[in-house]
A = this chain, B = another copy of it.
Amino acid sequence: MDGQNCTFGACGAVAGVKNPIALARSICDAQRMPLTLGRVPPCLLVGSGANSWAKENNITTVDPVTLISEKALKTNHYCKKKLAKYEAFINDKNVTLNIEESPLDTIGAVAIDNEGNIAAACSSGGVMLKHSGRVGQAAAYGSGCWADKAVGIVTSGCGEYLMLTNLARETARTLENSNMATTGVYNSITNNFIQSPMLSRSKDKLAGMLVLQNKNENEREFLWAHTTKSMCIGYMATNSKRPTSRMSYLPNGREPGHSVIVEGICFY
């Protein structure tokens, strides 16, 4: 999402595109140029149509098989076995298996340039053992990322929960009406996610978030927040020699999916 032009582009369920984020950007950028005959450029392309767009716009496509890492294939086989085992013993209450042991791979980034233009993007391999054709929050407007002139946000976590709560956009809205960013992010995740009526039937509400707020050229903050046990974050400025990275942990005694930690740094 491009905060300067308020344009959003996304792709989902697309195979054989080396860098899906480049495809999303191409779809986003195309919205600045209206089409002939009053046609409106698409925001979201999926499946083979998304692959065609990539080819038409010189975005690297490859044989989908080359994108499957050995590790991912092993994890997939392991999870499938687990599921088969679980389903075979579904009535045996002594068998407890937790698929959440398999970490997944959503990644998000927010950036701001010297002129204060903000962009946010995220990309995800989805969840393990998902149904073929599933589109998650990374491709859902207002859910996986948000960028406007004041703020850039990316989220990670349970895709369906992030979609049903529009968490990125709702957090931007909460921050618009808040003077204190840390409190704003805390309130948004608490009210719009953990306590959302949309998720009243859901168990553990797992989410993570990066927020870059741009009040003016002297007041800029970078925040991170999560309801998961831990989240890995990183940041760097143009004059940094290398990025700073760290693991953020939910304090001892707080229950993942039910409480949130917010931290951050200011920069200008």
Contacting chain B: which of A49-57, A70-78, A185-193? Answer: A49-57
Contact of A44 with B127 at beta-carbon distance under 8 Å, contacts A6-B197, A37-B99, A141-B140 already known? no
Please encode chain A, from 25 to 40, with 1 for each CB lying within 8 Å of some chain B CB and 0 for all others.
Answer: 0000001101011111
Give the residues in chain B near A166, CB-CB below 8 Å.
141-142, 166, 169
A44 interface neighbour in B32, B100, B158, B163, Cβ under 8 Å: B163
Give the residues in chain B near A36, CB-CB below 8 Å.
83, 86-87, 90
Least Cβ–Cβ distance between A184 and chain B, in angstroms: 19
A46 interface neighbour in B6, B46, B99, Cβ under 8 Å: B46
The residue in chain B whose Cβ has the minimal distance to the Cβ of A45 is B133
| Contact, CB under 8 Å: A12 / B46 | yes
Please tell me how many copies of the chain the complex holds: 2
A48 at the B interface (CB under 8 A): yes
Q: Please measure, in the bound complex, the distance between the C-alpha atom of A34 and the C-alpha atom of B42, giving whole angstroms.
A: 33
The residue in chain B whose Cβ has the minimal distance to the Cβ of A130 is B42
A97 at the B interface (CB under 8 A): yes
Which of A45, A49, A133, A140 has the most CB atoms of chain B within a 10 A radius of its CB? Answer: A133
Give the residues in chain B near A47, CB-CB below 8 Å.
13, 46-48, 133
| Contact, CB under 8 Å: A8 / B41 | no
Least Cβ–Cβ distance between A106 and chain B, in angstroms: 14
By size class, the interface of chain A is: 35 or more
Least Cβ–Cβ distance between A191 and chain B, in angstroms: 14
Q: Please measure, in the bound complex, the distance between the C-alpha atom of A198 and the C-alpha atom of B230, giving whole angstroms.
A: 34
Least Cβ–Cβ distance between A155 and chain B, in angstroms: 14
A233 at the B interface (CB under 8 A): no
Least Cβ–Cβ distance between A31 and chain B, in angstroms: 8
Q: Please measure, in the bound complex, the distance between the C-alpha atom of A99 and the C-alpha atom of B38, giving whole angstroms.
A: 7
- Can you add 6 more A-B contacts, CB < 8 Å, to A45-B135, A52-B131? A38-B204, A42-B130, A45-B133, A47-B47, A51-B133, A53-B133
Binding site for B on A (CB under 8 A): 5-6, 8, 12-13, 31-32, 34, 36-53, 82-83, 86-87, 90, 97-100, 127, 129-135, 140-143, 148, 158-161, 163-164, 166, 169, 197-198, 200-204
